[in-house]
Amino acid sequence: MHTGKWLPTGFNLFLALLLIVSCEKQNDLPAPASTTPQTKTTDGLVPMPSPVFVVWFRRDNIPSALTNFQGRFGGWSFVIGSKGYIGGGTAVTTNSKLSTAKNVFSFDTATKAWSQNATPPSVVTGGEGAFAIGNNGYVLTGSEDVTQYTYAYSALNNSWSPKAPLPGIPRYYAVGVAIDGKGYIGGGAYQPGLGLNFNNWTQYDPVADRWTEKARLPNEPTYGGVAFVSSGGTGGKAYLCGGYDNEGRLSKALWQYDPATDQWTQKTNFPGSGRAWAVGMNTTNAGFITTGWDGSKTLADVWRYNFATDTWGTEPNIPYTAPIQGLNGARQHAFGFGIGNIIYICGGLSGIDNTSARADLWSLGIPN
């Protein structure tokens, strides 16, 4: 209804810009940013200014060949170039039928479209311990079976090949990162909940196809945590956080690994709720922890770690499937990856049972 009055010029400009962005692609619908300012200043959490053009955008859902596909959860992800790859885990249909998700899909951040890639061997079902080096992605350990396999995906040839298996006792729910042309796997469990967790840290050399034990994590062994790296994986450091310890407690300790010195340093504790089954990822200038399970509910909050200042801040929560104010996109066992200054989150479980599986993909651009 026309009121006979004009809104302030600055607000009109904002609406015009938002309309232009929204029209670039039909499903580029911005979700409302969180309206609650962050004011806590203890334990490494610093106030963050109100986001400016920092909004979530809805992208195309994870594809599937299944009839009545509802969602997918519990697999692996890595980044090669401008594409984020997801695979493994469990696929769920709207009539609650479960199946092992064998298909691999990549999301091209340039075209904003999904493509199907070569299917890996049948043993590659889980793979939280995944990382990418150059044009190759590596998947190992598992979330459905206790495994030691290592398989490499070549983006150049769109093919899979076996590599040297991870040494030692088989495990699942480990974490993986890549720094300076080397891959690293740490944590995990042989039998979650029974105090059979690991704190060893193992390096993979893709040229020699060989694993080498490195300095163990100083903290109590955990499984179901997250990892991210600084400096885009070049001349950088690894960061590990979260997960369950041997006593069943959710850890909030953040540990930094320097491959140049093979040493661990404890950093500012994670200030959010302790969690497992979350997503850890990084952009060019920051690390992120989002989603997960805090022992009683799934989560939608987004936490940003500043490498330079060792401090934490927040970003807008992940939205609900439809951009409706007041609802959120809480989930666990989701897929996620960061490319450039944009983070992506997709799939996962909204609750604790398989019927809450989801397939929505969202992206959030982070200002420098």
3-class secondary structure for the chain? CCCCCCCCHHHHHHHHHHHHHHHCCCCCCECCCCCCCCCCCCCCECCCCCCCCCCEEEECCCCCCCCCEEEEECCEEEEECCEEEEECCEEEECCCCEEECCCEEEEECCCCEEEEECCCCCCCCCCCEEEEECCEEEEECECCCCECCEEEEECCCCEEEECCCCCCCCEECCEEEEECCEEEEECCEEECCCCEECCCEEEEECCCCEEEEECCCCCCCCECCEEEECHHHCCCCEEEECCECCCCCECCCEEEEECCCCEEEEECCCCCCCCECCEEEECCCEEEEECCECCCCEECCEEEEECCCCEEEEECCCECCCCCCCCECCEECCEEEEECCEEEEECCECCCCHHHECCCEEEEECCC
Residue pLDDT, tens place only, 168-194:
888 888 999 999 999 999 998 886 666
How many angstroms separate the CA atoms of 33 and 48, rounded? 13
Q: Which fold has domain 9-365?
A: Neuraminidase (2.120.10)
pLDDT reading at 245 higher than 80: yes
pTM: 0.85
Confidence band of 229 (pLDDT split at 50, 70, 90): very high
At a CB cut-off of 8 Å and minimum separation 6, what does 196 contact?
189, 190
Highest-confidence segment of 29-38, 78-87, 143-152: 78-87
pLDDT surpasses 80 at 200:
yes
Regarding predicted confidence, which is higher, 199 or 143?
199
pLDDT tens digits, 60-83: 999 998 999 999 999 999 999 999
Confidence (pLDDT) at 14: 40
Cβ pair 220, 199 in contact under 8 A: yes
Taking the domains of the chain in order of start, what are their residue ranges? 9-365
Encode pLDDT of 122-146 as tens digits. Answer: 767 666 689 999 999 999 865 555 5
- Of the listed ranges 7-21, 184-198, 269-283, the least confidently predicted one is 7-21
Whether the predicted pLDDT of 319 surpasses 80: yes
Most confident of 28-42, 77-91, 163-177: 77-91
